[in-house]
Amino acid sequence: MEFHYPNGRKYKGNPTPNKNKSKKEISYSNRGMTLEDDLNTTNAYYLANNIAVIHKKPTPIQIVHVDYQSRSTAVIKEAYFRQASTTDYNGVWDGRYIDFEAKETKNTTSFPLNNFHDHQIKHMKSVVEHKGIAFVILRFVKTDELFLLKAEDLFFYWERMINGGRKSITKDEIIKSGYSLKYSLHPRIDYLEIVRHVYSL
Amino acid sequence: MEFHYPNGRKYKGNPTPNKNKSKKEISYSNRGMTLEDDLNTTNAYYLANNIAVIHKKPTPIQIVHVDYQSRSTAVIKEAYFRQASTTDYNGVWDGRYIDFEAKETKNTTSFPLNNFHDHQIKHMKSVVEHKGIAFVILRFVKTDELFLLKAEDLFFYWERMINGGRKSITKDEIIKSGYSLKYSLHPRIDYLEIVRHVYSL
């Protein structure tokens, strides 16, 4: 029987040292961290090593009631999650505006497009129009595979859906139009290295 | 006796048409909106008119308890305000990364530096280092005057404070090193026009 973390990752037990394993095969994946954790760690690495300034935006909340119990502490007693009007991550890298969204799926053969909202697609379109760099990072939870897909390619699949086509991107399509991202130790997910390649920077 | 809105703005009554007033003197200020409202309206104008993609980040909240009353509604029952680790506004303008913070003071002769946090200054320093454009928009509530101050100039006053100097920027210093921003109808506060001038874009 397999154990799974709540985020869907397999529990693999303590890593067993394997002397026959070559250095190239070492896997840094499957450490029970979510994609968000991994990206936050990566962004912290980028910041600490003076590579880029990229942050995750806070979750948008609609605050309804705040209790000012004491002079210093305000306790939010009633609030609701709001839908984000932009993507989750943005920042600056060598003067360039970087903007992306990160999503996971438990599907194995395709990535459902309902992971994105209409206004997020709109937002990414605006970013691209204003010469920013926009993309999505997609993770297949069960196989722990990561891909970077340019926003321009995502728009293509989105339009296909709008025009009555399939409501997901097949994994084959992602492999063909996207770029594989590998886990490493520092940084966890070096997506900017792929961005540099993809956009010929 | 003067009336004030809760945000500190004077109530000026209904505007009286003055036929002797030249067009140049028409004031769009003092409409009871906060600086945040004005900037959100401005950013919405920039977006709608395809000028720039700049958004205010959501307020960072530490969520402690969420009540899942029904399948669809999650109610946050306990949460706390967290200090922002970055500035409030960022986005892209003609491929350029834009990053700023907006603050108000009821003081009339100086702008207290405790309106900013150490990590916000750090963040703006990183942005400048990575070739982004960083600045602050300062509002004197009582006179409803607005200024744009480049982050580089803010750093100077911040360092002066760190080195034992005054804990504020005098209004004279702001007038000299900053740039006056005027209210208009559309957009409310055309700060990008000043940015274009200040950074010779």
Q: Which residues of B touch A82 (CB under 8 A)?
A: 58
Residues of chain B with pLDDT > 90, as a percent, come to 78
User: B46 CA to chain A: closest CA distance, Å?
Assistant: 11
3-state secondary structure chain A: CCCECCCCCECCCCCCCCCCCCHHHCCCCCCCCCHHHHHHHHHHHHHHCCCCEEEECCCCEEEEEEEECCCCCEEEEEEEECCCCCCCEEEEECCEEEEEEEEEECCCCEEEHHHCCHHHHHHHHHHHHCCCEEEEEEEECCCCEEEEEEHHHHHHHHHHHHCCCCCEEEHHHHHHHCEEECECCCCCECHHHHHHHHCCC
Average of per-residue pLDDT across A155-183: 98
Cross-chain residue pair A53–B80, CB shorter than 8 Å: no
Mutate to test the interface with B, among A54, A57, A97, A125 (most CBs of B within 10 A): A97
Give per-residue pLDDT as tens, B109-162: 999 999 999 999 999 999 999 999 999 999 999 999 999 999 999 999 999 999
Structure tokens at A144: 């722990």
Residues of chain A with pLDDT > 90, as a percent, come to 78
The chain A residue lying nearest B95, using CA atoms, is: A131
User: A123 CA to chain B: closest CA distance, Å?
Assistant: 8
Structure tokens at A124: 């990414």
Window 111-130 of B, Cβ < 8 Å to A: 123, 126-127, 129-130
pLDDT-derived band at B71, boundaries 50, 70, 90: low
Half-sphere exposure of B78 (CA within 13 A, CB side): 4
Give per-residue pLDDT as tens, A94-144: 999 999 999 999 999 999 999 999 999 999 999 999 999 999 999 999 999
Q: Is A83 annotated as a binding residue?
A: no
Query: Among B56, B18, B133, which residue's Cα sits nearest to residue A84?
Result: B56
Query: What is residue B20's predicted lDDT score, i.e. its pLDDT?
Result: 45
A61 and chain B: CB distance < 8 Å anywhere?
yes
Q: Is B86 annotated as a binding residue?
A: yes
Nearest to A90 among B50, B80, B90 (CB): B90
In angstroms, the CA A149 to CA A133 distance is 11
Element spanning B126, H or E:
helix B118-129
Say which residue, B85 or B93, is predicted with more confidence: B93
Query: What is residue B31's predicted lDDT score, i.e. its pLDDT?
Result: 55
Average of per-residue pLDDT across B174-180: 98
Measured from the Cβ of residue A196, the count of other Cβ atoms closer than 10 Å reads 13
> Is pLDDT above 60 for A84?
yes
The chain A residue lying nearest B64, using CA atoms, is: A76
Query: What is residue B159's predicted lDDT score, i.e. its pLDDT?
Result: 98
Average pLDDT, chain A: 88
Mutate to test the interface with B, among A51, A130, A199 (most CBs of B within 10 A): A130
> Is pLDDT above 70 for A5?
no
Residues of chain A with pLDDT > 70, as a percent, come to 84
The chain B residue lying nearest A84, using CA atoms, is: B58
Say which residue, A16 or A31, is predicted with more confidence: A31
Cross-chain residue pair A95–B99, CB shorter than 8 Å: no
Q: Which residues does A135 contact at the CB level (< 8 Å), separation at least 6?
A: A99, A100, A148, A149, A150, A151, A154, A195, A198
Average of per-residue pLDDT across A62-66: 94
With contact defined as beta carbons under 8 Å apart, do B115 and B103 qualify? yes
Query: What is residue B201's predicted lDDT score, i.e. its pLDDT?
Result: 85
Fold adopted by B30-198: Trna Endonuclease; Chain: A, domain 1 (3.40.1350)
Query: What is residue B32's predicted lDDT score, i.e. its pLDDT?
Result: 63
> Is pLDDT above 80 for B76?
yes
Q: Is B130 left (phi over 0), alpha (psi -120 to 50) or beta?
A: alpha
Query: What is residue A11's predicted lDDT score, i.e. its pLDDT?
Result: 44
CATH of A30-59+85-198, one of 3.40.50.1000, 1.10.1200.10, 3.40.1350.10, 3.40.50.10490: 3.40.1350.10
A77 and chain B: CB distance < 8 Å anywhere?
yes
Give per-residue pLDDT as tens, B3-57: 444 444 444 444 444 444 444 445 555 556 799 999 999 999 999 999 999 999 9
